Amino acid sequence: MSEELRTAAETAAEEKVSRNFIELEIDKDLAEGVYDHVQTRFPPEPNGYLHIGHAKSILTNYGLAQQYGGKFNMRFDDTNPTKEKDEFVQSIIADVKWLGADFEDRLFFASDYFGQMYECAVKLIKKGKAFVCDLSADEIRETRGDFNTPGKNSPYRDRSIEENLALFEEMKSGVIADGARVLRAKIDMASPNINMRDPVIYRVAHQSHHRQGDKWCIYPMYDFAHPIEDAIEGITHSICTLEFEDHRPLYDWVVTECEFDPKPRQIEFAKLYLTNVVTGKRYIKKLVEDGIVDGWDDPRLVSIAALRRRGYTPASIKKFVELVGLSKANSSVDSAMLEYCIREDLKMKAPRMMAVLDPVKLVIDNYPEGQTEELPMPLNLENPELGERMLTFGKELWIEREDFMEEPPKKYFRLFPGNEVRLMGAYFVTCTGCEKDADGRVTVVHAAYDPMTKNGMEVGRKVKGTIHWVNAADCKQVTARLYENIVDEEKGKLNEDGSLNLNPNSLTVIDRCFVEPALAQAEAYDSFQFVRNGFFCADCKDSIQGQPVFNRIVSLKSSFKLS
Ligand code: ATP
Ligand code: MG
């Protein structure tokens, strides 16, 4: 290791009191001279959209490369043509870039290495370390044994090198039917690790590949392909999730027997799971296919595309991944933590505007007919740098229906007959009564204002309640959407039969939401705090010029506390 790197590693170690277990392993490898640099990769299979779990993997791999002054590769693990599509390649690239993991020109496709993988397979055959096997998939499974019983050698295990070479060539040439023959590594059918019991490394599949077309009809299996991909690219630390821990001996076997030098090293960490949130590609796919959600980017999902559409920022996701940390044990993280991170990110940045989600008319009877006035209001009280906007005020306003009660319970400090409240940034008003329709539903609330309290100033008396409002004369009507978790929180994610336990209230569409005029100019991805109602983001798909549709990113209240 160079002196420079050693110093960098030492300073990093000193600066950060607690280093995670992957950093410790990397420090050790650098100190012992196993590697003289760090190179990581993110290797998605382009068979679906990325989700929050992948974000963890991306930011971890990218973060480590940054931290050690190394390189980060974006590599598509596109070795299984059945499920892979270019649509997914494009969406994955967009998501990784959006998250800020800058791979520059280091974009790779495992399928570009098919030639080298084939050469590796031939090398193994020549070393007597691989053989062509004619057993069917079922027979292979049956002879594999299990945890307690060793497997049985295949009757084809002792074929000569020449015969194996000829048969493998035949597999490649296209004359062998799918499944009729496979190439297997010759390791040890009695190994306590089932992955080492002569695993299949190549199969015949007469399938077009999204990049290679019909060039190949044999495809490498994941456990064989992945270590070779890492080795070819000069990856030092191949970071993956825990389910591959038992595959590590096979990973090491492949890089050793194929004689790669230096050899990449696999390190596993626990997958990220969130409570009350569906992360698995399989489940998301089902929700999309069953039409329960509006595509892979439905804001109720936690695909990266969905989080972006909902209004999450790269910074909030990065913060979340840092808070969660890296672990060797599987566990579920409270989804409230993700919400906490976006609230923290938007708190100071987002303008705070007024929007009424469930409007009822408020008439200020003593306000002069036909009068309007302009009131200045800060865009974010906690962040004066955002400046202010002017709002008009008039005789007729819209307020939230729940901000008036004819017969209030104790500790209700909003409008009820005789009570005075502050209209945010405007005046103090005292409720004088209401009008109702035939069903007893309140249609208009009446109040009187005190002209001395302009801009909401106290004049010798305090009020306990402050409510938001918009001016009926110039407010705009927009659509707002409120979300809850797509699966029922109380009863758990899955029903007994394994189907998803769906929450019927996961989406509420509010067509009659009245907002300050400026909000009608919101562009896709613009985020705001709607005071008292939460953070909202203009939808990138359903908004049209002057007619935004707002998605609630998150409410303002949180049960989550940073411990
Ligand atoms: P899924 O489980 O959603 O189907 P996958 O593991 O099949 O995902 P890949 O495209 O193979 O998806 O994953 C690319 C990388 O992302 C792998 O290194 C994988 O380990 C990692 N990854 C996938 N899911 C998670 C997760 N929940 N948490 C952390 N890393 C993950
Ligand atoms: Mg996978």
CATH number of residue 262's parent domain? 3.40.50.620
* Residue 26, in any domain of the structure: no
Ligand 1 atom with the smallest distance to the CA of 273 is 27
Ligand index nearest the alpha carbon of residue 330: 1
Q: Do residue 165 and residue 64 come from a single domain?
A: yes
Asked if residues 185 and 198 have their Cβ atoms less than 8 Å apart, the reply is yes
Q: Do residue 248 and residue 375 come from a single domain?
A: no
The answer to whether residue 15 scores a pLDDT higher than 60 is: no
**Of 443, 468, 493, which closes a domain?**
468
Q: Where is average pLDDT lowest: 443-452, 484-493, 543-552? A: 484-493
Asked if residues 552 and 375 have their Cβ atoms less than 8 Å apart, the reply is no
Q: Where is average pLDDT lowest: 239-253, 347-361, 487-501? A: 487-501
Q: Which of 240, 241, 328 to mutate to test the pocket of ligand 1 (most atoms within 8 A of CB)?
A: 241
State the virtual CA torsion across 119, 123, 129, 135 in degrees, nearest 10. Answer: 40
Q: Do residue 204 and residue 311 come from a single domain?
A: no
pLDDT at 459: 85
Cα–Cα distance between 209 and 248 in angstroms, integer?
A: 28
Ligand index nearest the alpha carbon of residue 281: 1
The answer to whether residue 2 scores a pLDDT higher than 70 is: no
pLDDT at 460: 87
* Residue 88, in any domain of the structure: yes
Q: Do residue 337 and residue 226 come from a single domain?
A: no
Q: 242 burial class (0-12, 13-18, 19+ CB within 10 angstroms)?
A: middle
Q: Quote the ligand 1 centre to 55 CA distance (angstroms).
A: 9
Q: Do residue 398 and residue 483 come from a single domain?
A: no
* Residue 145, in any domain of the structure: yes
Band of pLDDT at residue 530, cut at 50, 70 and 90 = very high
The answer to whether residue 8 scores a pLDDT higher than 60 is: no
Q: Do residue 263 and residue 241 come from a single domain?
A: yes
Cα–Cα distance between 2 and 419 in angstroms, integer?
A: 74
The vertex-167 CA angle with 174 and 203, nearest 5°, equals: 60
- Ligand 1, atom 25, residue with closest C-alpha: 53
Mean pLDDT score, 165-179: 97
pLDDT at 198: 98
Q: How far is CA 57 from its chain centroid? A: 11
Q: Do residue 222 and residue 364 come from a single domain?
A: no
DSSP H or E run through 120: helix 114-126
Q: Where is average pLDDT lowest: 303-307, 433-437, 485-489? A: 485-489
Band of pLDDT at residue 1, cut at 50, 70 and 90 = very low
pLDDT at 5: 52
* Residue 401, in any domain of the structure: yes
* Residue 83, in any domain of the structure: yes
Mean pLDDT score, 424-442: 97
Q: How many domains does the chain have?
A: 3
pLDDT (tens digit per residue) in 47-92? 989 999 999 999 999 999 999 999 999 999 999 998 888 899 999 9
Q: Quote the ligand 2 centre to 222 CA distance (angstroms).
A: 9
Cα–Cα distance between 459 and 451 in angstroms, integer?
A: 10
**Of 434, 468, 502, which closes a domain?**
468
Backbone angles phi, psi at 171, to 5 degrees: -60, -45
Q: Do residue 103 and residue 138 come from a single domain?
A: yes
pLDDT at 231: 98
**Cα radius of gyration rounded to whole Å, the chain:** 31
* Residue 503, in any domain of the structure: yes
pTM of the model: 0.91
Cα–Cα distance between 132 and 117 in angstroms, integer?
A: 16
CATH number of the domain where residue 432 is located = 2.40.240.10
- Strand segments, DSSP code E, in 5-129 are 39-42, 71-76, 107-109
Mean confidence (pLDDT) of the chain:
94
pLDDT (tens digit per residue) in 403-428? 999 999 999 999 999 999 999 999 99
pLDDT at 152: 97
Q: Do residue 98 and residue 223 come from a single domain?
A: yes
The residue range of the domain holding 499 is 281-350+479-554
Q: Do residue 462 and residue 515 come from a single domain?
A: no
Mean pLDDT score, 371-395: 96
pLDDT (tens digit per residue) in 311-320? 999 999 999 9
pLDDT (tens digit per residue) in 96-113? 999 999 999 999 999 999
Please, which residues have CB within 8 angstroms of residue 187's CB and are 6 or more apart in sequence? 129, 196, 197, 198, 199, 250, 253
Q: Do residue 451 and residue 370 come from a single domain?
A: yes
Ligand 1 atom with the smallest distance to the CA of 244 is 20
* Residue 13, in any domain of the structure: no
Report residues whose beta carbon is within 6 angstroms of any ligand 1 atom: 43-45, 53-54, 56-57, 240-241, 271-272, 279-281
Q: Which of 40, 49, 54 to mutate to test the pocket of ligand 1 (most atoms within 8 A of CB)?
A: 54
* Residue 443, in any domain of the structure: yes
pLDDT (tens digit per residue) in 212-245? 999 999 999 999 999 999 999 999 999 999 999 9
Q: Do residue 346 and residue 494 come from a single domain?
A: yes
pLDDT at 100: 97
Q: Quote the ligand 2 centre to 418 CA distance (angstroms).
A: 64
**Of 212, 238, 269, which closes a domain?**
269
